[in-house]
Amino acid sequence: MAVPKPNELLKIDHKPPKKWWMDTKPTFRPGTYSYPSKPKNIEILDMWNPREWSPTDEDWKLPEDWKERILEGFRDLLKKYRSLKVFMDICVRCGACADKCHFFIGSGDPKNMPVLRAELMRSVYRGEFTKAGQILGRWAGARELTYDVVKEWFYYFYQCTQCRRCSLFCPYGIDTAEIDLAGRHLLNLVGCNINWMMEPAANCYKVGNHIGIQPHSLKDMIDFFVEDIEDLTGVKIEVPFMKKGAEVLFVTPSGDFFADPGTYTFMGYLMLFHEIGLDYTMSYYAAEGGNFGFFTGTIENAKKLNAKIYAEAKRLGVKWILGGECGHMWRVVHQYMDTLTGPADFLEVPKSPITGTVFENARSTKMVHITEFTADLIKHGAIKLDPSRNAGIKATFHDSCNPSRGMGLFEEPRYVLKNVVPEFYDMPEDTIREKTFCCGSGSGLNNDEFMEMRMRGGLPRANAVKYVRDRYGVNTLSCVCAIDRAVLQPLVNYWVPGITVTGVHELVGNALVMKGEKKRTVNLRQEPIPGMEEEEGDV
Residues 104-133 that bind other proteins (CB under 8 A): 105, 110, 113, 115-116, 119, 130, 132
Q: Which of 28, 48, 258, 285 binds other proteins (CB under 8 A)?
A: 285
Backbone dihedral angles phi then psi of residue 382, each to the nearest 5 degrees? -80, -10
Footprint (CB under 8 A) of other proteins, residues 306-335: 307-308, 311-312, 315, 333-335
**Contact present, 96 and 191 (Cβ < 8 Å):** no
**Contact present, 465 and 474 (Cβ < 8 Å):** yes
206 forms part of the interface with other proteins (CB under 8 A): yes
Nearer to other proteins, 193 or 510 (CB): 193
Footprint (CB under 8 A) of other proteins, residues 254-273: none
Q: Which of 4, 30, 95, 473 binds other proteins (CB under 8 A)?
A: 95
Of the candidates 395, 494, 390, the one whose C-alpha atom is nearest the C-alpha of residue 439 is: 494
367 forms part of the interface with other proteins (CB under 8 A): yes
What is the per-residue DSSP string for 86-120?
HHHHH-----TTGGG-HHHHHH--GGGSHHHHHHH
Site string for other proteins, 449-468 (x = CB under 8 A): ----------xx--xx-xx-
Burial state string for 90-105 with b = 16 or more CB within 10 A and e = fewer than 16 = ebeeeebbbebbbbbb
Nearer to other proteins, 124 or 514 (CB): 124
Nearer to other proteins, 73 or 261 (CB): 73
346 forms part of the interface with other proteins (CB under 8 A): no
Asked if omega into 261 is within 30° of 0 (cis), the reply is yes
Residues 6+ apart with CB under 8 A from 157: 117, 120, 180, 183, 184, 187
Q: Which of 146, 361, 493, 526 binds other proteins (CB under 8 A)?
A: 361
Nearer to other proteins, 80 or 519 (CB): 80
80 forms part of the interface with other proteins (CB under 8 A): yes
CA distance 485 to 265: 10
Footprint (CB under 8 A) of other proteins, residues 415-434: 415, 428, 430-431, 434
Q: Which of 275, 412, 423, 484 binds other proteins (CB under 8 A)?
A: 412
Q: Which of 4, 14, 227, 519 binds other proteins (CB under 8 A)?
A: 14
Nearer to other proteins, 15 or 515 (CB): 15
Site string for other proteins, 141-160 (x = CB under 8 A): x-------------------
**Contact present, 280 and 373 (Cβ < 8 Å):** no
Q: Which of 71, 86, 382, 532 binds other proteins (CB under 8 A)?
A: 86
178 forms part of the interface with other proteins (CB under 8 A): yes
In the complex, least distance from residue 515 CB atom to other proteins, rounded to whole angstroms:
26
304 forms part of the interface with other proteins (CB under 8 A): yes
Of the candidates 243, 281, 260, 255, the one whose C-alpha atom is nearest the C-alpha of residue 203 is: 255
Nearer to other proteins, 465 or 483 (CB): 465
Nearer to other proteins, 68 or 411 (CB): 411
In the complex, least distance from residue 531 CB atom to other proteins, rounded to whole angstroms:
32
Nearer to other proteins, 253 or 323 (CB): 323
In the complex, least distance from residue 204 CB atom to other proteins, rounded to whole angstroms:
9
Nearer to other proteins, 87 or 250 (CB): 87
CA distance 495 to 509: 28
Burial state string for 186-215 with b = 16 or more CB within 10 A and e = fewer than 16 = bbbbbbbbbbbbbbbbbbbbebbbbbebee
Going from the C-alpha of 295 to that of each of 60, 103, 193, 199, 301, the distances in angstroms are 22, 18, 10, 12, 9
Footprint (CB under 8 A) of other proteins, residues 481-510: none
Of the candidates 106, 19, 188, 149, the one whose C-alpha atom is nearest the C-alpha of residue 460 is: 106
Of the candidates 451, 488, 491, 494, the one whose C-alpha atom is nearest the C-alpha of residue 33 is: 451
In the complex, least distance from residue 136 CB atom to other proteins, rounded to whole angstroms:
8
